[in-house]
Structure 1
């Protein structure tokens, strides 16, 4: 077996270097060799100090994900780190790239830390439903304040080297290109100055107000409601404050094992792996994408400007087209304002902003400016006729081989492609608003879309740091099709007796950041209204059509942008609008519905049953290739709580049979809406899970 950890002695300094590409994960072979070589360095008389370093582009970026869910194999990471810390010679961690999770815990097990200026650090286990289990919660608050430790560990957010040094986490930030050499020099200075080991575990915890933990719990109960791991992190940190190090380490390990057994940990691991599998499609293996350096965007509204901003931040050159000079200038200003926000948040510096706006971006009113672009994204008004007109012009102007993409949310990509002479080059790229923030991108593959063009869509997503999901053509693709179905179920829940505000509250407690009616207000009620009017001619007469949202729109109330929708928007924030209850009551009376009280449990059951049922149809029809594709879409584009893993994972957790039973129960109220999907019925009857279809 090839060694993954090397050992070398340079002028009395033992250099133990991990080389386990791509991210130097702490796999069992790494842990075993690291422990063995650390013991060797400790025992060798010629060794005066030790440097722990990594080859490649990063320090250890975490655990080996291939070991997730499997029984632990010795040596365990806590034991390796404890042994490293106990060495009676100074040990120095040479940090570059990222030190994440177990990687940062390893660095904390060293006595000193030297980092490059661009290095970044995080204890990110909470994002997987866990807490640092190799001493991170016990060592970190011996170097930084408990407030900082709580923030880092309960959010998993990264910090930079300069901030880490200011906090006391890093001893030296170097501009040297070779951080290992810098760490060796630092170790030599330690020896020369007679400085010995400085185990972090031997340091006192930072001074603190004991109320910091209860304050953190109170905050997390609101901001991370329902989540177990953040509160467990606080418990572990409190153990560091109250217990001797060894006892605190034991408490941390018990909490870690407890989190390992939770459903939330399983859900978050599922989400983690699904986002890495979603772009792996057999039909794209060996297919090389086209080169994309210059892109065009047609339409400078909120979505078009957001797409342009995202592309600029990803290093692409962007030409944006608007209908006239005045509109082009307005779009230019919109992009500039958005990028100014990136400057204020520290995402880019002022010099980069100036370069983007002066050299890499232009807004024009003449389609001829797109003649040399590699890929064009249409982001105009959601009208088939308008989009056909745009694509007719793009077909005439764009160079051969240019990819022509539509950002449509619902419309038929096949129909759009047919107005061009190159349907093989037409694809849907459905971004989510705000496009420079939201990670999801549905890559909508039409009947004649070339595999090369599909691969180009996925490559563009990677360049723009998006999570791409392949979708087939249907009204709404994956996400919006499922959304339209569960929105009908939610509206039916209101007609049955729940208020929109009770629905929003129940689903927030379930884990959604916002309830569906608050989301509609935020997006603009007129958007859904336009879609309903577009689909009205094809509406099945058996459908129980809910009208209250239309009545609200007819009154000119489109949500936040008009100050009223389902909620009233004032200085004190949104408040429920009592007039909405009156409109709903009138509709119930007209339809002969006697309202009844619905509990939060039934509201959630209706919401999830409708979502899973339509998702089952989407998978069966091949609109989504696998159930995990649905999960990734709903997690990244629709606010589904990540700690529940996605709707299909949720369905597996409660059992497809339970979802089917709910649908059959609700069908007694509305047999047309609640028609069980054949795939759901099949899985329930066979006792199988949706996850069985992911491979």
Structure 2
């Protein structure tokens, strides 16, 4: 869904996908077909380097079904007014036997893991409902923005289930074990403003007339990240993601390893030169 392969991502080709919910298209390049449930857009101009992945399953409120999951390779946004992602497609799930249901959830869990493991920063913007699998998708992203009017929650216990696509693990790591248990045990839905207070989202704002306030906030974040050194961003993400899973001594060793990989880069030399010459750096991802 991005230009080039993994090496291109590392070298700063297209490195900042933004997941968001909006009611109209702003992307300059699209790769959707009439039957596509996922639309990839690459922004240009000052936003070159930002990729949007748009969810198009309008009739099902972007519920996560087999075809839908197959077409989502990375981060997800929504063009459906008032809905980011309504979670799993319960009508489709009801028709599955036990083996099929387990296989489906495994695919969904793997997808979320792939999103979380991407080397570039990812942003999920929630302008509508992000429930169950929809919130699990947002939790798999690095950063989250929301409109105050957005509704989000891991509501699986109200359906006789538990979060099965990473939510039971990522939510405690984000907001703490006690609060995560409260939210999951009750199946509670929270609005964007409350989510900000809980630490569930990074930014929250009043909804605007076009229904894309969270997307606008996500784009501001994306534009702030985009000029920074791509190798440093990638390794900083790796250091944090790996380090948080181990005890402090091992975490420090991971940081040292990642830091050592930045030292020989041209971008580090460029950053130092730009500082001394009092100019903006021109990073190339090398």
The offset of 1:203, in angstroms, is 6.7
Counterpart position of 1:20: 57
Alignment of 1:66-215 (within 5 A): 66-69=91-94, 70=96, 71-72=100-101, 76-175=107-206, 176=208, 177-178=211-212, 179-194=214-229, 196=233, 198=237, 202=242, 204=244
The offset of 1:193, in angstroms, is 4.5
Counterpart position of 1:59: 84
Counterpart position of 2:269: none
Q: For 1:192, what is the secondary structure of its paired residue?
A: coil
User: Is the 2:127–2:215 Cα contact (8 Å) retained in structure 1?
Assistant: no
The offset of 1:135, in angstroms, is 0.6
Alignment of 1:610-689 (within 5 A): none
Q: For 1:153, what is the secondary structure of its paired residue?
A: helix
Alignment of 1:392-541 (within 5 A): none
Q: Does 1:29 align with 2:67?
A: yes
Higher helix share: 1
**Deviation string for 1:125-151 (max 9, x for gaps)?**
001111000110100011112221011
User: Is the 1:58–1:98 Cα contact (8 Å) retained in structure 2?
Assistant: yes
User: Is the 1:25–1:62 Cα contact (8 Å) retained in structure 2?
Assistant: yes
5+ residue gaps, structure 2, are: 1-33, 246-286
5+ residue gaps, structure 1, are: 39-50, 206-695
Counterpart position of 1:338: none
- Normalising by structure 2, what TM-score? 0.61
Alignment partner of 1:6 out of 30, 39, 44? 39
**Deviation string for 1:371-421 (max 9, x for gaps)?**
xxxxxxxxxxxxxxxxxxxxxxxxxxxxxxxxxxxxxxxxxxxxxxxxxxx
Query: Distance in 2 between the 1:185 and 1:52 partners?
Result: 17
Alignment of 1:357-376 (within 5 A): none
Counterpart position of 1:574: none
**Deviation string for 1:83-141 (max 9, x for gaps)?**
11111111100111111000000000111101112112110000111100011010001
- Normalising by structure 1, what TM-score? 0.26
Larger Rg: 1
Give the RMSD, CA atoms, in angstroms.
2.3
Question: Would the alpha carbon gap of residues 171 and 128 (structure 1) be closer, same or farther in structure 2, given more than 3 Å must change?
Answer: same
User: Which structure carries more relative contact order (alpha carbon 8 Å, separation 6+)?
Assistant: 2
Alignment of 1:560-579 (within 5 A): none
**Deviation string for 1:529-562 (max 9, x for gaps)?**
xxxxxxxxxxxxxxxxxxxxxxxxxxxxxxxxxx
Query: Distance in 2 between the 1:122 and 1:202 partners?
Result: 26
The offset of 1:181, in angstroms, is 3.5
Question: Would the alpha carbon gap of residues 3 and 31 (structure 1) be closer, same or farther in structure 2, given more than 3 Å must change?
Answer: same
Q: For 2:233, what is the secondary structure of its paired residue?
A: coil
Number of equivalences: 191
